[in-house]
Structure 1
Amino acid sequence: MPRDAMTVSQLNLYIKNLFQTDPLLSDLWIKAEISNFKHHSSGHMYMTLKDPQCFVRAVMFRQENQRLRFLPRDGLKVLIRGYVSVYERDGVYQVYIQEMHPEGLGDLYLAYEQLKKRLGSEGLFDPARKRPLPMLPGAVGVVTSPTGAVIRDIIHVSSRRFPNARIRLIPVQVQGAGAAEQIAKAIQTFNRLGNVDVLIVGRGGGSLEDLWAFNEEVVVRAVSSSRIPVISAVGHETDETLTDYAADLRAPTPSAAAELAFPAKIVLLDHLRKYRIRMENATARRMDLSNARLVRIMESTVYKRPLDRIRQNQERLDQLLRRIGIWVSGSLKNQDLRLAGVAGRLEAISPLAVLARGYSVAMDPDTGRIINTVKNAWPGKKIDIRLTDGTIACLATQIRKGDQRDGSVE
């Protein structure tokens, strides 16, 4: 037996992985006719998709088929979006359906998906572009039909929630030829005038064809580029348009859009009442703390005898001055003693002091230098003898070397 032989389970898993990694089979549209339709008690739908030549098994799980707006049946031609994979247990490939539409609307759905993908790739539906609504708008602009139930619902809800609310309407056609251009132009007009804080763009429910104006690129781009926050209120909760993706907020109904745009006045008044109570309580606590602090200050010694602190500081200053005077006086005495000692030592070694003890100094009157050797004198040489109280001018008559009184004479 070959060592690399696969089990059936491994084979089916391998084939399933091939299907899942194929880009075409992971997301595709199929036109087909339904047969062998069965709506299981679990909520899942099982069926066969076929054309005149071939058929393939298909399943639509409950979480996907709950969004269907019609009930599939045998013989119905449909447009399906889904992916192909393998049911491992039976080794059979089948289509896993994610969306299903009647074939008559297939072209519109294909156009819808293609435009959604293209505009999404440009970032028009990016959640980061969404802006919050103002808490209390001064005025709300409405783009809708002037005769439909939408404007009546918005007026009714706004008068109930915020009676003094201001609504500005630009009437437009909401379906049919030219509707998309009118809607886009109305949004641009509100942005040019700048006289509202929020926009509600919407209409009542209807078929895909009825709502198609809100899937047109010109409307989606106008909503996305609006400087004024936009609430989309197109159709009913189960309806979905590209305007919903581009808007800053989607409302399931026009009435819900009005509730989002206009705050309930009674709720705002209740908030204001609570804020007022909190401010009053905070002010009272601040006053109590300030009063308590004032009482402590008034009872303090500083408040009752404010000059005590000044007098204490004056006493401390006097003490410091006395200590500085004592220190300076002692320091000066020490310096005087040191100076007297140095002067005594200088006096002891002073030449004048030596002369005062009976000594004299022989000096050359011509150069002013001391003659400290007989070599610098000769007979007939003028010499000044410096004594403690004056100078004797002398003339050398003879020179004797050494301590000689009767020695050799030069």
Structure 2
Amino acid sequence: MNLFAEQTILTVSRLTSLLKDLIEDNFSQVWAEGEASNLTYAASGHVYCTLKDSGAMLRCVMFRSSVKALKFKLEEGMALVVRGRLSVYDQRGEYQLIAEYAEPKGLGALQAAFVQLKERLAGEGLFSESHKQPLPFMPQKVGIVTSASGAAIHDILNVLGRRNAGLHLIVYPVRVQGVGSAAEIAAAIDNLNRLNAADVLIVGRGGGSLEDLWAFNEELVARAVYRSRIPVISAVGHETDWTICDFVADLRAPTPSAAAELVCTAREELLNQIQNLVLRLDQAISSQLKLRIHNLAGLRRALHDPSRMLGHQLQRVDDLSERLDMALRNLFGRHREQLARQEQHLAGLHPAIQISKLRQKLLLLTEHAERRVTSQLEQLGRERGEATARLEALSPLHTLARGFSVVERQTDKHIIRNAAELAIGEEIRLRLHQGCALCRIEETYSDSGVKATT
């Protein structure tokens, strides 16, 4: 049937339906490239945009499930290569591209996602040098977050075994690639921090493609490394491989083996210093011994006639030999004591020993304080007794006990100190050592014995 014959008349809906079938049947899988413009993220999660070049434009929609599968974020003005199918939107009579996959033109989707995340995290300060922690000096416990069966764990254990590091290792096995691997790595870092299980963490894996290493480019892992209170060494892939984890970590090692070398470097340097001190000590002793032997040989050659000087010279030689032997023993002993003190000092740096010393010091201070307080209390008791005795000696009651009395005018309780203050017939009150007496004045006299008149 020729639908386009001159006498055939089609409705708009019928014509649109025919075009829809024609387009959707023949363009069910197409690739298109162009620049994304008018890009909009809908509340539903779908993305709408117009894909255009210098000569035309094509409406494009990507549904939420396809958007979530992308490794990068679609942005306005981005040059894209899009795979999808053509569809006709009946109500508007427009055709559009239903996009199922997209990637930046000239740049893979993973690489684009890497660049976008790197720029965003750098802007937030996750790569800042001021946030990076120094590695601990001579760590005792090392946490290792990697695959239990990968090459990385074997390389790390091989280096630590060869260096005879004597470290306590905590291996936290995780998947290092595939779905869910990033969440496992982030959880391992968080759990080791929560348990405070290590002094330093090595997080990494062996080499691989960008897809293989992608778990270490996930934002989830980057933020776990950033919030870690334990210093983190990132050891992902080969020397030329760089991941987001490398930028966030406190230190980046080019390989897992290099990370193992880093955690035992300080210990090795200290052992080398001790070995150098022992070597220098041996050389000093040997030099002193050779010098004394040479001097002794010279003394022996100076004895032209041993038979004449045999007496006191042999005694002198014996004395010098004893002094030489004693000097060498003392010298060797002093150097051994110095080494022992250094070893004791290194051992004393252990937190448990430091805490024990502080406890002993606190106990001594407590005992000293108790003795001081007891002594001061005894002194205060003695001073109080002396003050009480002085107060009692000065007390008016003490004076009354010796036979004196206090005279008060009965009317106003005024204390009488002079007989001239009294009048004949006036009542007075005598306060005695024990009790009081009420009296009436009949006569008064001055100190010279002259009778007063009223």
TM-score of the superposed pair, with normalisation by structure 2: 0.38
**Which structure has the bigger radius of gyration?**
1
Compare the two structures and name the one with the higher helix fraction.
2
